[in-house]
Amino acid sequence: MSTIRIQPEDFDVGAEANLLARGRGDVGAVVTFTGHVRGEAGLTALTLEHYPGMTEREIASHVREAEQRWPLTGVTIVHRIGRLEPGARIVLVATSSGHRQAAFAAAEFLMDYLKTRAPFWKEEERGDAKTWIAAKDTDEDAVRRWR
């Protein structure tokens, strides 16, 4: 069972995690990662854009890969778009499995791929200046370990 949503609205981490385990006796672990807009010096907002349909397909391909690598019982990815201010939630990656190791590894794998391969465009707003930003070298290094 996997769920992928791209939306401007905020999300409820607890509710999403509960949905992965509800009524399932085979779930021994649910791992969640929630990313927030960092309150870096001078950052007013972060705007995220995407291509509807293409983004979901790309994320789904990485979810399928995670499901092949680890014995998962569920995956939920919620990624926000639009203008977000510091402190706002951006992304949720939640994985469930019979065992914690698989759930942790899959969540980390999916987050690394979201940071580097998911087709989102990010624009930082600092006062009156707006700048499009790219993935960092450290993000690329993180994803290399999964190959």
Number of other CB atoms surrounding residue 147 within 10 Å:
4
Spatial CB neighbours of 108, under 8 Å, sequence gap ≥ 6: 33
Question: Looking at the 3D structure of the chain, how many domains does it have?
Answer: 1
Q: What is the pTM (predicted TM-score) of this model?
A: 0.92
pLDDT at position 116 over 80: yes
pLDDT in the model for residue 109: 96
CA 100, 106, 109, 114 dihedral sign is negative
d(CA 6, CA 21): 22
Q: How far separated are the first and last CA of the chain, in Å rounded?
A: 24
Q: Are strands 2-7 and 72-80 parallel, antiparallel or unpaired?
A: parallel
* CATH number for the domain that contains residue 134: 3.90.1170.40
Residue 105 belongs to what domain range?
A: 2-144
For the segment 22-58, what is each residue's pLDDT rounded down to a tens digit? 877 889 999 999 999 998 888 999 999 999 999 999 9
